[in-house]
Amino acid sequence: MKNKALLVHGAVFSVALIYAANYSIMKTVTPEFIKPFGLVIVRVFSATLLFWLITPREVILKKDYFKFALCSLFGIAINQMCFIKGLSMTVPLNASVIMTTCPIMVFIASSILIRERITFLKTLGILMGFTGAFLLFTDGGTKFEGANFKGDIMIFINALSYGIYLVIVKPLMEKYNPLTVIKWIFTFGCFYVFPFGIGELTEVDIHAFSRNGYLAIAYIIIFTTFMTYLLNGWALKHISPNVVGYYIYLQPILATAIAVSFRGDPVTIKAILFSLLIFMGVFLVSWKRTPTPR
């Protein structure tokens, strides 16, 4: 049981690590080389192919196809299009800060949609994580105004949409193989994003891409899209959407660690304190009281 818990938390930790690097990587290709909705098509269609190749055949109840389509609307279409379009219109720092609202959205959606019990410890953990992540992200200062504002709004819609997705997809993850669920969610996603992105995709000049550009696209497809949905889907089979969503708060810590490791950025006392606040929040949100023997 403990080994499985470690694997589950390792999976969502890996997702946070992948996303921590994604903000800057995605900015290297959009909108300069490929426009946002064109990149969404590349992400969704490529990941769909990968999931169809590796997913075992499983019988699906007809009534659940609507649920797959609904999950796809929030988890693929609105989520990905708003994120990539928003990121192309704002700066990675603003996007990172706004994404810290996602666990709060999950928390609220869980209490409304699946009646998950709101406890004092979970509420405290969410608030601690939000405070730590917000302070860590905004230590250098940021502004949500001017040219970035429309992009910031789209990132917020993305956070709201992804929060709803994590909650409504959990029952399907418990009912079917996570690979089956994600395969059908991405399949429906292809139909959603195609009308918006096909025009932008046809404008792409593949000769303008450098080797780093192709590597960035590969990272976005394999890691940011394929691996994150796969790992989060598997994790949702075993833990609450609140815990999965909460790991977004680790992204600023991981982004800081990456900066320290590869750019030699200094480690500050404030960064350590803010990080500890986030880790304490993770513990409170994921902690379960052990029943007292009778």
- Among 52-56, 90-94, 253-257, the range of highest mean pLDDT: 52-56
Give the C-alpha separation, 10 to 231, whole Å: 9
Provide the pLDDT for residue 38.
Answer: 94
Instruction: DSSP letter for 206, please.
Output: G
Torsion of CA 33, 220, 64, 167, to 10 degrees: -110
Provide the pLDDT for residue 232.
Answer: 92
Provide the pLDDT for residue 102.
Answer: 80
- Threshold 0.75, pTM exceeds: yes
Percent of all residues in the chain with a pLDDT value above 90, rounded to a whole number = 41
The per-residue pLDDT for range 178-193, each reduced to its tens digit, is 999 999 999 999 999 9
- The candidate with the shortest Cα–Cα distance to 157, out of 74, 247, 91, is 74
DSSP assignment of 209-250: --HHHHHHHHHIIIIIIIIHHHHHHHHHTTS-HHHHHHGGGG
Annotate 11-47 with b (16+ C-beta within 10 A) or e (fewer).
Answer: bbbbbbbbbbbbbebbbbbbbebbbbbbbbbbbbbbb
| pLDDT higher than threshold 70 for residue 7 | yes
Annotate 265-278 with b (16+ C-beta within 10 A) or e (fewer).
Answer: eeeeeebeebbebb
Provide the pLDDT for residue 293.
Answer: 39
Assess contact for 271 and 128: CB atoms under 8 A: no
The per-residue pLDDT for range 114-156, each reduced to its tens digit, is 777 778 887 888 888 778 777 766 665 555 556 677 888 898 8
Give the C-alpha separation, 248 to 215, whole Å: 24
Strand ranges for the chain from DSSP E: none
Which residue shows structure tokens 């994580």? 129
Q: CB 53: neighbour CB atoms within 10 A?
A: 8
Cβ burial, residue 229 (10 Å; 0-12/13-18/19+):
buried
| pLDDT higher than threshold 80 for residue 270 | no
- The structural domains of the chain, with segments of one domain joined by +, span 10-118+142-241
Give the C-alpha separation, 181 to 175, whole Å: 9
Give the C-alpha separation, 206 to 203, whole Å: 9
pLDDT band at 290 (very low <50, low <70, confident <90, very high): very low
Assess contact for 167 and 113: CB atoms under 8 A: yes
**Mean pLDDT score across all residues of the chain:** 83
